[in-house]
Chain A
Amino acid sequence: MAGASKAVADSRANLPFVYRQYSAEQLKQVLYKMYLIRRFEEGAEESYMRGLIHGTMHLSIGQEACAMGICMPLGEDDQITSTHRGHGHCIAKGAEVKRMFAEFFGKTTGYCKGRGGSMHIADVAKGNLGANGIVGGGIPIAVGAALSSKMMKTGKVVVSFFGDGANNEGAFHEALNMAAVWKLPVIFVCENNGYGMSTSTARSTAVKNIADRAAAYSMPGVIVNGNIFSEVAEASYKAVERARAGEGPTLIESKTYRHRGHSKSDRNRYRTKEEIEDWMSNRDPITLFENELREFGFIDDEGIEAIRSGVAQEIADGIEFAKVSPSPDVSETGNYVYTEQA
């Protein structure tokens, strides 16, 4: 039990998982990062509107508790594969927002030196093997990373994030099967936000819950409320323990919702305003977590205000860093295609 003394622990005995498991400092850090994800994406969105960022982007606003909850029990050496909606995963795994902004601005100081942009954001040093432009593309790669972990005996656990839409790609099924057969230390995390672009899971997917598919691959399938940080973190904690013990993979389905459109060109014609409004005002993951922290006495209004202003400053600094960073030179267009040999 990291950081919580016996007396404190007893007083928390009836609280949800994370309040028993983690210190107040750690939990405040989680709130900070949830805000950081939210404000990062709002900052990216605004920069996009102002023409400072080109291309498109997929915002995970509304899904912050998933990214933070899943990454909570991971160590710095553990690894993740992420998705096109991967900004939250990247921050949750420890990335600096200034280098993320720099990547979005196409600068050399960005995580991919301006070559990847939003859809390929990564932070390999922190164990984020990358977002992915291909739906389902990261799932077998995570299994491969878990195979490395097993063969090289590094003890690393690998998490593969993917969406509900991805569970209908062949790669998902092939990857889960191999992971189960070889008992690999990998956790499959389906962030089920109800839609793959415009197509609801009801219209695309033959099972009611994505977690039901775990049975076909003989692994535990766990459903959590993805907007409740503690629920997600608890499921992740158990799956990490299982993976580290050599017992094999787990499929976690984290039910959540994206507040924004699929990408920058979405007219939201496939869902109602009421539905969006309901999720935004009644089930916002940051509000839910903040309220719990306050209710259980982990934070007061002043503490919340300090977090919000700290985040605002980090975001402003990050955007400034990105703006003043250099762009790659066009003479370097062909760099990094192959490994440079000395």
Chain B
Amino acid sequence: MDAMVRELSYAQAIQEAMAIAMDMDERVFLMGEDIGVYGGAFQVTGDLVERYGTERVIDTPISELGGAGVAVGAALTGMRPIFEFQFSDFATLAMEQIVNQAAKMRFMLGGEVSVPVVMRFPAGSGTGAAAQHSQSLEAWLGHVPGLKVIQPATPYDAKGMLLAAVADPDPVMIFEHKLLYKMKGPVPEGYYTVPIGKADIRREGRDLTIVATSIMVQKALDAAATLEAEGIDVEVVDLRTIRPMDKQTVIDSVKKTSRLMCVYEAVKTLGIGAEVSAMIAESEAFDYLDAPIVRLGGAETPIPYNPELEKAAVPQVPDIITAARDLVKGVR
């Protein structure tokens, strides 16, 4: 029988997933800055400390390198930590433990150990928080073998993928766009998982494949709705996982539509769009392409504070509409 489905926000969905994970497995615990009585900078942990106590909802000092490392060490030795970075930007302070330790431990030790740590990263721009609190660094971590990197775009996926991450024996990095936290959507009660490594076709179409990540999925869907009125039929693929990438779903979609556009918020150059484009260029889908591949990504700049500049620095719905129209009509 189907579980009861309610409307939850993305943040509530994550909170529910963490509670379920803690109920199911006493090894699961939460660590992060101000996740206890404050409820987390974005109120994702909320009142979990009241329900699970300070032993399982641990406020760390402001010590990202040490905190992430403690989570790695606990995961290595039998616990199942979920570590929250207050902002994804602060991953930069913890790169050593993430990249040199968590990602490589199993490999370096010849498969003798694994590191089932989950790390959560509130990411992205749009809140006026300026250059050091607005970055999209998922491709940095996506470049590191040994890590799994996911970007759920809906409340449903946020819950299901977090539960999949907790069940996963390897380190899983979850990038959560801050503007998604308030987004509402249907979420079933109880336990379910959404597999890591599977893309999702969010809208079927014939004329153009848009591969989008995170908040750009919704923007691509909004653009697709407008384009439909003009007779342009867009297929929207929500990549969901950037490592390991679900190549086949993208390849099959491009073979069907013969056109590809990648939309992501991170800086355009050397990003996910480059990877998806190259992957298609190397695949059997290349022969099906009717037009050059288009990438829409963030501008080659840190995120500015000024609100107009901030908006201009990342793709917006009108940008997607224009680019898609030009692509389908062959305008270069």
Contact = CB atoms under 8 A, between A and B. Distances in A.
Contacts of B301: 333-334, 337
Contacts of A265: 41
B283 interface: no
A55 interface: yes
Nearest to A137: B132
B309 A330 contact: yes
B305 A55 contact: yes
Interface stretch (A5-13, A146-154, A199-207): A199-207
Interface in B287-309: 299-302, 304-309
Nearest 4 pairs of A and B residues by beta carbon = A55-B128, A133-B132, A117-B305, A106-B306
Contact of B61 (A106, A168, A270, A327): A168
Interface stretch (B16-24, B62-70, B168-176, B321-329): B62-70
B171 to A, nearest CB: 21
Interface string B126-163: 01111111000000000000000000000000000000
Interface string A254-275: 0000000000011101100000
Contact of B304 (A115, A166, A169): A115
Contact of B133 (A133, A199, A327): A133
A56 interface: yes
Interface residues on B, range: 35 or more
B33 A199 contact: yes
A197 B130 contact: no
A62 to B, nearest CB: 20
Q: Which DSSP category, helix, strand, loop or mixed, fits chain B's interface?
A: loop
Interface in B43-65: 59-65
Contact of A55 (B37, B39, B90, B130): B130
B127 A198 contact: no
B127 A333 contact: no
A310 B133 CA distance: 36
15 contacts: A106-B308, A114-B304, A115-B130, A119-B129, A119-B132, A120-B131, A168-B61, A169-B64, A170-B65, A197-B62, A198-B38, A328-B306, A330-B309, A330-B312, A333-B309
A127 interface: no
Nearest to B127: A55
Contact of A117 (B36, B37, B64, B128): B128
Interface in A290-338: 327-328, 330, 332-334, 337
Contacts of B299: 333-334
B34 interface: yes
A328 B310 CA distance: 11
Nearest to B304: A115
A165 interface: yes
Contacts of A88: none
Given A55-B129, A120-B131, A204 B61 contact: yes
A119 B307 CA distance: 15
A289 B115 CA distance: 56
Contacts of B62: 135-136, 165-166, 168-169, 196-197, 199, 204
Interface of B: 33-34, 36-39, 41, 59-66, 89-90, 93, 127-133, 299-302, 304-309, 312-313
Nearest to B302: A337
B306 A270 contact: no
Interface in A111-161: 112, 114-117, 119-120, 132-137
Interface residues of A, number: 41
A117 B309 contact: no
Interface in A185-240: 196-199, 203-205
B34 A197 contact: yes
A287 B39 CA distance: 34
A117 B304 CA distance: 9
A150 B68 CA distance: 36
A305 B152 CA distance: 58
B89 to A, nearest CB: 8
Given A56-B128, A133-B132, A165 B38 contact: no
Contacts of B304: 114-115, 333
B131 A116 contact: yes
B61 A269 contact: no
Contacts of B127: 55-56
Given A115-B306, A119-B130, A198 B34 contact: yes
A170 to B, nearest CB: 5
B61 A337 contact: no
B61 A133 contact: no
Contact of A328 (B34, B36, B309): B309
A41 to B, nearest CB: 17
B87 to A, nearest CB: 9
Given A115-B305, A199-B33, A269-B39, 8 more contacts: A116-B130, A135-B62, A170-B66, A198-B34, A198-B38, A266-B38, A270-B38, A333-B301
Given A54-B128, A199-B59, A114 B309 contact: yes
